[in-house]
Chain A
Amino acid sequence: MQATRFDTAHEDLIHDVAYNYYGKRLVTCSSDQRLKVWDFNESGNGVAQWELNDSWKAHDCSILKVIWANPEFGQVIASCSFDRQVKIWEEQEIEPKNSQKRWAEKFRLVESRGSVQDIEFAPGNGSLRLATCAADGIVRIYEALEPTNLTQWPQMEEFEISSNASSLNAHSASAGGGTGGSTMATSAFGSQAPSALAGGQGLAGGSAGASGGLQQAGPNQGRNSDAGGSYCLSWCPNRCPAPMMVVGLGRENGARIFKHDGQNRWYPGEYLPGHEKEVHDVCWAPSMGRSYQLIATACKDHFVRIFKLTEISATQSNPPQTPQSRNPSQSKLNLSPSASPNQSQVGKRFKVEVLATFDDHQAEVWRVEWNIEGTILASSGDDGTVRLWKAGFDGVWRQMSVISADGSNGGAHPSH
C-alpha cells in the first residue's frame, strides 16, 4: 500500500474529505470556514496530480461535513456547519478556477436550531433529496423540486431522533411550506422533567413556528444547545421498499434504524445495541446484492462496531411492493397518535447481530466509512490512525492495515 501526502493548506482542522462519484474530484472542509475543491488532473505529460479547483469561505463557522451529489444533477456539493446552516453549491463553469466564485451558493437550509452535524444525499435515481441532522435532535429531509435549478428545497419530512419523543412527533411539513420551521411537537422539548412554570412559559407558544429560537422555554428546558449531543445519519444505500436510514442517537448512546412508512412519516425501527457512549458516526454499507446488510458505527467509547442485519422472512406477508412514493407532499399531515407504527409498515424487519467490535484505536473513534463495495471498512480516531477492517474467508472480521499520521503504514495484517 502506498500513500501520498496531500497538503490542503487549510488553516485549521479538516473535518471531512469526500470523493465525488467518479473518484476524480475531492472536496475538503475545515474549521477555517473554507471549502476546497480539488481536481485530479490526468492530462499533461503523464504526471497526474491533484490541483486546486477553488477555495472559498463558505460558512461562518466550522464546516463539519461536505458531500457530493450524484453527478446526474450536475456538479453539486452540500456542506453543513456549526453555524446551523446547510448550503448547496454548484460549480459555475464560466467562472475561472481559483476565483473564489467558481462555486455558487444555490440555496441555504436554515431550519436547524443547532449546529448541523451530518448530511447525506438520499440514494436512488431521479430525485435529489437531502437528509440533515442537527444538534436540536431533528432529522430533516429536503428535496430539490427542480433538480435542474436547485433553487427550491422545501422541507418534506422531519422526525425527532430522541426515543422519548417517539414516532408520534414525526411529521411532514407540507410542500412548499418547508421554510419557517413547521410546528414543533411541544412534548418533545426538553428532557424528562418539564419543570413546571419555567418550562411552561416557553412551551405555551411552542407552535409559534417561525419565531425560531425565541420560542424556547426557560433556561434549562428545551434549550437546543450545540453541546446537546452529536447526531449522525446514513441512508440505506440498498434497494428497499421504503427508504431507511440509521441514525446515531447522541446522548442516548446508541444507534437506531428509522424507516419511512411509504406515506410521509418515519418511524423508529431496530436499535443497534452495545454502545456505552455517544455514537460519533454511522455508515450503512452497500450490499451489492448480498442477502444481509452491514452497518458500522464509530463510538466515543473507543469501539468500532459492525452490525449485521438479516431480514426476517415474516415479511413474506407483505403486500406487493408499493412503488416508492416520491411525492409525500401530497399526503395530508398524519398525526393521529393511534396509528401504531408497527401496523401498516411496508419496511423490512431485521434481526440485528453484532458481527465485530474493535477497540484497537484506544481512543475516540470519529468516522467509519465503507468502500464502494461494502467489503472494507475504514475507521479513524483520535489516536491519529486510519484502520481498515475486512472479513476473512472464514467470515471473521479482522484488521487489515493501519495508516498512521506520521506517514508510516503500520503492519498490514493480511486477512488470512
Chain B
Amino acid sequence: MPANSRGQFPTFGSQTGFNPSRLSSDSTIVTESATPSQSDGQESQSPMDTLNAPPYQPLRYQLPGALNALSSSPDGEYVVVAGREVLKVLHVTTQEVTEYINLRTGSNLSLNYSSNDVKWGNNATKNKIATAATNGAIIIWDLNKSGRKTDRVISEHTRAVNRVCFQPNSGFTLLSASQDGNIKAWDLRDPKSLAKYSYEGKSESVRDVQFNPLHTYEFAAGFETGTIQKWDMRNLKPIYDRKVSAHNGPCLTVDWHSDGRTLASGGRDRTIKVWDMNSDSRKPQYTIRTMASVSRIQWRPGYDNEIASCALLSDNGLHVWDVRRPNIAKYTFDEHSTTPTGFQWLSSDTIISCAKDRYFMRHDIVGAYQPIELLRKNGIGWNIHGDLVFSIDKSAGDSFVDEISTPGVTSPANRKQRRSRTSTGDEMPLQYIPPQTCGIAHLPLFDYETFSVFAQNYVTSGEDIKMACETNAKIAWSMQRFRAAQTWKIIQLLFADMDDEASSSVNASDNGYVKALEDNTVNGTDAASETDSETSLRQGGNDYKDHDDLSSSSSESNEISSMSQNQEIVNDLLSYYTEQSDVQMCVTLFLVIQQHVHVGLEQLEDWFTSYIDLLHRFKLWTSATDIINACPIEAVRTINMNATTINIACNNCFKLVLSTARASWACDKCHKLLNPCSLCHQTVRGLYVWCQGCNHGGHLEHMRDWFSNNSQCPTGCGHTCTLDMSTRSHS
C-alpha cells in the first residue's frame, strides 16, 4: 500500500472506542479513507465500472490482491476482506465502496497474515476481527488499538486453520477449525490462555465449523472425510453429539438454518445437502446437485427454503437455490471472472462477495438473473408417422416454486410422493415438481399404409409404360387414392401410344426425344438446369450420346410438338406433386416415363434422396434399394455401394482374412486352410456343416456319411456330436 494510507493510521488510533456506526457520521475520516485509493492505479478505476452500467449492476471494488474471504461488521456497514496479500476494512454503502483501514501495513510478509478466513466479531467483540492463516496462526485484530492493530496471535494449531467462528450471542468464544484435525475454542476475555477446549473430531482435517445461531452452545463441523458432526459445548466428554456421513469426498462447508435445527452442508461431491440435526435419519431432507464442488453456503435470511452457494472451481457463479427445487438455481449472480471465494448475505436481498479476481462486490437480488428464464419450458418433436411428442408447461404462473402445491401440504394433485426414489429416502417427498404435461399427439398426416403399399407394389420400370401405368393406377385405385389413379391414367394416355412406336423403332423415338430436349433448351425458361440435365443424361448411362450424330434424322415434326406438349403436362403434374411433398409419386412417375420426359438434375436428386430417406425411415429397405439402383444420378447410386463390407475371419486364429479378394482360401496369419473338411482336409467351398459343440465340421456329404456310422467327432476330439440324435433314439 502507498505510504499515505499508512500515514492515516494515527487518526484512527487516536480514537477511543471504535464504533463503526459512529464513524460513518464522521465525514472527515470517511472522505480521507476514500481518497487514498486514488493513489493506487488499479483501484482508481474500479469504481468507474459502476458508471456506464445498465441498471442493477453490482457495486465493484478492486483490491490489490486475490481475496479469500470476507466478513461484515455486525451492523453491516463495514466489511473486512482477506487474502494472501490483502486485509482491509471497506466501508460499504448502497452507493459506493471505499477503503476504510488497511490492516496489512508495512512490509511484513509473515505467513501469519496470509489469510484463509476472516470473521468479524459481535457484541463484546464487535470491533475485533479474527483471521485464520494458512500456517496455523489465528490473529485477533483490534480496530480500536492504536498503531498496529494486531491484538493477539494464537499459534496453537499445527497446520492451516480453515475456518474461524465467533459465538453469536456473546462474541467471547472463538472456534477454529484446522487442517490438523482439531477444533479449538478460545475465550477471548483471557488473552493469555491456551485453548479452552479442544475437540478432536476423531476424523480428518476440519474444513468448517459454525455455531448454532439459536442454541449457541452447539456447533457443527464439516470434515475432510465427508462427515459432519454436531457438538454440544456443555458436554465435557470429548465426543460429538451426532455424526452424519454427509458427503462423498470432503465436506467443505456447513451452515445452520436460522431455526437452529436444520443444517446444510456442501462438499466436493458437488452437492448441497440439508439435514435435520434433531432427527436420527441418515438421509438428507434435500439434496441439491450443483455443477461444481461447493465451497461455501449460506441460508438466505428471511427465506426459509433458500440457500446461496459458490463453487470451489470452474463455476464463477454465485447461486441461490430453493431447496425444494434442487436442480435449477433460482438466482445466479455471474459477475466475477473467477470463482467466488467468499460471500455473505447482508440482508435478505443484498449479498456481498469476493473472489480471486481481486474484486469485492455488493449485489442486489434484482441484479441476479434467473436461470429458469433461459430454459425452454417446452419441447416438441415429430416422427415420420406424423406423431408429435410434446412436453408443455402448464403453469401459467411465474413462481419458481408454487407454494400451493408444495411441501407438507399433501394435495393429491401433485406427485410429490415419489416412490421410485428409494435411494434418496423418505424425506424426498418435499421436492417440488413443476407441472408439465408430456404427451404424444397422433396426427393422421401421413398414410403409412398407403405409402408402403405403393412403395412395394408400384411398377417403376419404364420398359412398358402402358402396363406400368395400368398396374399403378389399379394399385392407387385400390388404396382409394383416386387422384393418383387418375394421374396414372393420364400418363398412360399420353405416353402409351408413343411407347408403342418407340418399341417398334427405338432409335427414332430416342432421337425424337433428344430433339425435343434441344427444343426445350432453346425455348425453355430454366435454361441452366436444362443444360445440366442434358449433360447428366449423357453421363447417366443412357445411350443418347451415341445417337447424337443421328439426331438430325427422321423424326417427324408433329411428333416433336406433341412431345413438348406432353412435357408441359408432365411438368405441371410433377410440380403439383412436388408442392404436395409427394416425392413417391414424383419419383415413380419419373422412373416410368423417364425415356420421355426431362427433369432437372438437381430436382431429380432432391426427389430421389427425399424418397429414399423416407423409405429408409419406414425400413422399406428392398424398395429403397430398387429406387437407388434405378436412379439415373451417379451420386445417388453410390449410396448402395458405400460401406458394404463383409469380413471373414479365420476359423483357426480369428484374424481377419484379408486375402479373400484374391480368392485365396488360406489364412495369411496362420497359413492354414480355411474351413477345411475334417474328413478330406480340403477347403469346403460349398455347404459347410459343423457341430455347434466342438466346432468341427466339413462337407455336408462327408459329415452325413460319417455320422451315419459314428456318433463322435471325426477329428477325434472326443466330442459326441450326435448327442441330440442319440437322446432322441433312446427316448
- Residues of A with Cβ closer than 8 Å to B? 1-19, 21-24, 26, 28, 30-33, 60-62, 64, 82-83, 115, 125-126, 193, 195-198, 202, 213-214, 216-220, 223, 225-227, 230, 238-239, 280-281, 286-291, 313, 316, 366-367, 369-376, 378-386, 388, 403-407, 409
Q: Are A378 and B388 in contact (CB under 8 A)?
A: yes
Asked whether B338 lies within 8 Å of A219 as measured between CB atoms, the reply is no
- A372 touching B338, Cβ below 8 Å: no
In the assembled complex, the Cα of A83 lies from the Cα of B337 at a distance in Å of 17
Residues on the A chain within 8 Å of B391, using CB: 8, 14, 17, 28
CB pair A12–B383 under 8 Å, yes or no, is: no
> Shortest CB–CB separation between residue A350 and chain B, in angstroms?
15
Sorted nearest first, the 5 A-B pairs with minimum C-beta distance are: A23-B383, A289-B606, A19-B383, A60-B291, A14-B391
> Given that A1-B443, A60-B290, A289-B583 are known contacts, is A386 also in contact with B578, CB under 8 Å in the complex?
no
Taking A23-B385, A23-B387 as contacts, is the C-beta distance between A372 and B442 under 8 angstroms? no
Q: Pick the contact of B439: A6, A216, A225, A388 (CB < 8 A).
A: A6
B contact residues around A21 at 8 Å (CB): 384, 616-617
| New A-B pairs, 11, CB < 8 Å, besides A3-B442, A378-B382, A386-B390 | A17-B380, A19-B383, A21-B384, A21-B617, A60-B270, A82-B375, A83-B291, A198-B45, A198-B49, A214-B338, A403-B390
B394 at the interface (CB under 8 A from A): yes
Would you give 5 A-B contacts (Cβ < 8 Å), ordered by A? A1-B441, A19-B381, A22-B617, A226-B334, A378-B390
Complex Cα–Cα for A92 and B77 (A): 59
Interface pair A371/B605, CB less than 8 Å apart: no
B387 to A384, Cβ gap below 8 A?
Answer: no
Q: Are B376 and A5 in contact (CB under 8 A)?
A: no
Q: How far is the CA of A33 from the CA of B528 in the complex (A)?
A: 53
B602: Cβ under 8 A from any A Cβ:
yes
With contact pairs A17-B390, A290-B579, A384-B396 given, residues A33 and B289 touching in the complex (Cβ less than 8 Å): yes
Q: Is the CB of A288 within 8 A of B393?
A: no
Q: Give which listed residue, B314, B384, B433, contacts A23 with CB less than 8 A.
A: B384
Residue B550 CB within 8 A of the other chain: no
Chain B neighbourhood of A30, CB < 8 A: 327
Per the bound structure, the CA–CA distance linking A368 and B394 in Å amounts to 18
Contact partners of B381 in chain A: CB under 8 A: 16-19, 26, 369
B695 to chain A, nearest CB (A): 23
Question: Which residues of chain B are within 8 angstroms of A115 by Cβ–Cβ distance?
Answer: 374
Given A6-B389, A22-B384, A290-B579, the answer on whether A15 and B376 have CB atoms closer than 8 Å is yes
Q: Contact residue range for chain B?
A: 35 or more
Query: Contact partner of B603 among A2, A202, A227, A289, CB < 8 A?
Result: A289
A409 nearest in chain B by CB position: B441
B578, A290: Cβ atoms closer than 8 Å: yes
Residues in B with CB closer than 8 Å to A403 are 388, 390, 392, 439, 441
Chain A interface: which of B256-264, B607-615, B683-691? Answer: B607-615
Contact status of A226 and B332, CB under 8 A, knowing A288-B610, A378-B380, A405-B437: yes
With a CB–CB cut-off of 8 A, which chain B residues contact A407?
Answer: 437, 439
Residues of B within 8 A of A1 (CB): 441-444
Partner among A6, A8, A18, A219 whose Cβ is within 8 Å of the Cβ of B337: A219
Per the bound structure, the CA–CA distance linking A216 and B314 in Å amounts to: 13
Rounded to whole angstroms, the CA-CA distance of A160 and B385 in the bound complex is 37
Docked Cα-Cα span, A370 to B386, in Å, equals: 11
* Chain A CB within 8 A of B664 CB: no
Contact with A along B565-593 (1 / 0, CB 8 A): 00000000000001101010010000000
A-B pair number, CB within 8 angstroms = 258
> Could you say which of B374, B386, B442 contacts A371, with CB atoms under 8 Å apart?
B386
Given contacts A15-B375, A15-B379, A384-B392, contact A23 B617 (CB under 8 A): yes
Provide the bound-state CA to CA distance between A148 and B535, in Å. 37
B376 contacts A16, C-beta separation under 8 Å: yes
Check if A227 sits within 8 Å of B334, measured CB to CB: yes
| Partner pick for A239 among B374, B579, B605, CB 8 A cutoff | B605
Set of chain B residues within 8 Å of A378, measured between Cβ atoms: 380, 382, 388, 390
Instruction: Compute how far the CA of A21 lies from the CA of B434 in the bound complex, rounded to whole angstroms.
Output: 30
For B607, the chain A residues whose CB sits under 8 A away are 288-289
A198 to B396, CA, bound (A): 43
Cα A83 to Cα B315 in complex, Å, equals 9
* Distance, CA A23 to CA B440, complexed state (A): 12
* Chain A residue contacts of B317, Cβ below 8 A: 226
Mark interface residues in B518-548 (1 if CB within 8 Å of A CB, else 0).
Answer: 0000000000100000000000000000000
List residues of chain A with CB within 8 A of the CB of B446. 372-373
Task: Considering the complex, give the chain A residue whose CB is closest to the CB of B574.
Answer: A289
Whether A380 contacts B378 by the Cβ 8 Å rule is yes
B79 at the interface (CB under 8 A from A): no
Residues of A within 8 Å of B375, CB to CB, are 13, 15, 31, 62, 64, 82
State whether A223 touches B337 (Cβ < 8 A).
Answer: yes
Determine whether the beta carbon of A16 is less than 8 Å from that of B382: no
**B335 on the interface (CB 8 Å rule)?**
yes
Is B377 on the interface with A (CB-CB < 8 A)? yes
Complex alpha-carbon distance, A289 and B579, angstroms = 8
A11: which of B327, B379, B389 is its contact (CB, 8 Å)? B327
Instruction: Kindly list chain A residues whose C-beta atoms are within 8 Å of the C-beta of B616.
Output: 21
Q: Using Cβ atoms and an 8 Å threshold, which residues of chain B touch A15?
A: 375-377, 379
Residue of B nearest to A313 (CB): B528
Closest Cβ of chain A to B441, distance in Å, is: 4
A336 to B332, CA, bound (A): 40
Question: B639 interface residue, CB < 8 Å from A?
Answer: yes
Q: Convert B358-373 into 0s and 1s, putting 1 for each residue whose CB lies closer than 8 angstroms to a CB of A.
A: 0100000000010110
B431 at the A interface (CB under 8 A): yes
**Is the CB of B438 closer than 8 A to any CB of chain A?**
yes
Contact call A17/B337, Cβ cutoff below 8 A: no
Do A33 and B337 have beta carbons less than 8 Å apart? no
Contacts of A64 in B (CB 8 A): 375-376
Instruction: List residues of chain B with CB within 8 A of the CB of A227.
Output: 332, 334, 369, 374
Q: Which B residues from 415 to 455 make CB contacts under 8 A with A?
A: 418, 420, 431, 433-434, 436-446
How far, in whole Å, are A238 and B376 apart by their CA atoms in the complex? 27
Q: Evaluate whether A375 and B328 lie within 8 angstroms (CB atoms) in the complex, with A13-B393, A226-B374, A227-B374 already known.
A: no
B215 contacts partner chain A, Cβ-Cβ < 8 Å: no
A289 to B636, CA, bound (A): 15
- For the complex, is B300 an interface residue (Cβ under 8 Å from A)? no
User: How far is it, in angstroms, between the C-alpha of A15 and the C-alpha of B578 when the chains are bound?
Assistant: 34
* Assembled-state Cα–Cα distance A364/B571 (Å): 43
B589-605 Cβ-contact flags toward A at 8 Å (1 or 0): 00000000000001101
Closest to B614 in A: A372
- The 8 A CB mask of B642-653 against A (1 = contact, 0 = none) is 100000000000
Q: Are B528 and A316 in contact (CB under 8 A)?
A: yes
Q: Which of B155-171 contact A (CB under 8 A)?
A: none
Contacting residues, chain B, for A280 (C-beta < 8 A): 376
A11: which B residues are within 8 A, CB to CB? Answer: 327, 418, 431, 433
Which of these, A33, A213, A366, contacts B377 with CB under 8 Å?
A366
B602 touching A239, Cβ below 8 Å = yes
On chain A, the residues within 8 Å of B578 by CB distance are 288-291
Chain A contacts for B374, CB-based, 8 A:
115, 226-227, 230
Contact of B606 among A126, A193, A287 (CB under 8 A): A287
Question: Whole-angstrom distance between the alpha carbons of A413 and B63 in the complex?
Answer: 64
Enumerate chain B residues within 8 angstroms of A230, measured Cβ to Cβ: 374
Contacts of B444 in A (CB 8 A): 1
Q: Does B53 contact A (CB under 8 A)?
A: yes
Decide: A386 and B388 in contact? CB cutoff 8 A: yes
For the complex, give the distance between the alpha carbons of A292 and B63 in Å. Answer: 59
Chain B nearest CB, measured from A206 CB (Å): 13
Q: Pick the contact of B440 from A3, A31, A287 — CB < 8 Å?
A: A3
CB distance from B444 to the nearest CB of A (A): 7
Distance to closest chain A CB from B99 (angstroms): 18
The complex places the Cα of A23 from the Cα of B598 at a distance, in Å, of 35
- The interface residues of chain A lying within 8 Å CB-to-CB of B371 are 62, 82, 226
- Determine whether B202 belongs to the interface, using a CB cutoff of 8 Å to chain A: no
Give Cα distance in the complex from A82 to B359, angstroms: 25
Q: Please report the C-alpha to C-alpha distance between residue A151 and residue B379 in the assembled complex, in whole angstroms.
A: 29
